[in-house]
């Protein structure tokens, strides 16, 4: 049976990545895009409470649109989804970074978490520390922000964004040879794949384990091949 998943994005470019990741499965993806919070979240006077209220309203709206589950692909959104909100919703919520957090916290090697959006760093690290505490793990983590890159994505300059992120990941891979690198945000996945292929350095990204997690959580079936 075809399952229906409502996908909540902060930018339209994420649609392509999710479509490709879920292509093998019998699933209908319904996409909802709201770039507004990314434009407002750093404004003076715009509060976390306002962000959470808007996210909650949108998730309730998506849940009402005849979907079986919700996939949230923005790490800023996932960091502001409270446990009480998840309990209120009539369908399960899958956060894009949940499978990645499990891999990060399950690793004993030193890891460098790379971001492009400064507003996602604190929330993501808080979630990682909470996950680590709940599992009794102590991952060795450092973070790095590729400054002045994310505005390119928000301005629709995807190619320039991917090129700058690729260059940044290449520099960091050379600078941290003993570290496992992670491109933490979904928008960084193409650059991570490019560097991994060209340089032979495996760089993790949120898509790595997402399809497997979605299949397990929702009981998805592979599409029949004609």
Mean pLDDT score, 121-131: 92
Is the per-residue pLDDT at 226 higher than 70? no
d(CA 82, CA 164) in angstroms, rounded, equals 33
Residue 206: band (very low, low, confident or very high) from pLDDT cuts 50, 70, 90: confident
d(CA 220, CA 89) in angstroms, rounded, equals 21
C-alpha distances (whole Å) from 211 to each of 72, 88, 98, 195, 223 are 13, 25, 12, 22, 13
What pLDDT, on a 0 to 100 scale, did the predictor assign at position 33?
96
28 contacts 82 by C-beta, under 8 angstroms: no
d(CA 151, CA 183) in angstroms, rounded, equals 17
Mean pLDDT score, 82-106: 93
Mean pLDDT score, 87-94: 96
Higher per-residue pLDDT: 4 or 37? 4
What pLDDT, on a 0 to 100 scale, did the predictor assign at position 225?
62
Residue 223: band (very low, low, confident or very high) from pLDDT cuts 50, 70, 90: confident
What pLDDT, on a 0 to 100 scale, did the predictor assign at position 189?
92
What percent of the chain has a predicted confidence (pLDDT) above 90?
68
d(CA 103, CA 8) in angstroms, rounded, equals 23
User: Which residues lie below 8 Å from residue 34, measured CB to CB, with a gap of 6+?
Assistant: 8, 9, 10, 54, 58
- Domains, the chain: 3-96+209-218 (3.40.50.1860), 98-204 (3.40.50.2300)
**157-202 pLDDT tens trace:** 999 999 999 999 999 999 999 999 999 998 999 999 999 988 778 8
Is the per-residue pLDDT at 214 higher than 90? no
Is the per-residue pLDDT at 78 higher than 80? yes
**16-74 pLDDT tens trace:** 999 988 998 999 999 999 989 888 887 888 998 999 999 999 999 999 999 999 999 99
What percent of the chain has a predicted confidence (pLDDT) above 70?
99
Q: What is the 3-state secondary structure (H, E, C) of the chain?
A: CCEEEEEEECCCCHHHHHHHHHCCECEEEEEEECCHHHHHCCCCCCCHHHHHHHHHHHHHHHHCCCCCEEEECCHHHHHCCCHHHHHHCCCCEEECCHHHHHHHHCCCCCEEEEECCHHHHHHHHHHHHHHHHHHCCCCCEEEEECCCCHHHHHCCCHHHHHHHHHHHHHHHHHHCCCCEEEECCHHHHHHHHHHHHHHCCCEECCCCCHHHHHHHHHCCCECCCC
**Matching residue, tokens 């808007």:** 54
What pLDDT, on a 0 to 100 scale, did the predictor assign at position 39?
83
User: Which residues lie below 8 Å from residue 223, measured CB to CB, with a gap of 6+?
Assistant: 24, 25, 26
d(CA 107, CA 111) in angstroms, rounded, equals 8
């Amino acid at each position: 049976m075809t399952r229906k998943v409502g996908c909540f994005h902060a930018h339209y470019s994420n649609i392509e990545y999710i479509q490709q990741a879920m292509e093998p499965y019998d699933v209908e993806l319904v996409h909802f895009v709201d770039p507004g919070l990314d434009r407002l979240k750093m404004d003076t006077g715009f509060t976390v409470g306002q962000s959470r209220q808007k996210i909650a309203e949108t998730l309730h709206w998506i849940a009402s649109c005849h979907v079986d589950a919700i996939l949230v692909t923005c790490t800023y959104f996932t960091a502001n989804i409270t446990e009480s909100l998840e309990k209120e919703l009539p369908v399960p919520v899958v956060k894009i970074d949940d499978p990645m957090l499990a891999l990060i916290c399950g690793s004993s090697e030193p890891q460098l978490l790379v971001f492009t959006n400064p507003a996602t760093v604190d929330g993501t690290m808080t979630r990682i520390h909470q996950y680590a505490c709940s599992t009794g793990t102590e991952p060795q983590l450092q973070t790095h922000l590729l400054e002045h890159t994310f505005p390119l994505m928000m301005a629709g300059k995807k190619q320039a964004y991917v090129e700058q992120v690729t260059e940044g990941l290449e520099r960091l891979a050379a600078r941290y040879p003993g570290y496992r690198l992670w491109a933490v945000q979904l928008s960084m996945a193409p650059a991570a794949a490019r560097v991994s292929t060209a340089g032979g350095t495996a760089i993790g990204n949120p898509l790595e384990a997402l399809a497997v997690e979605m299949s397990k959580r929702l009981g998805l079936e592979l599409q029949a091949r004609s």
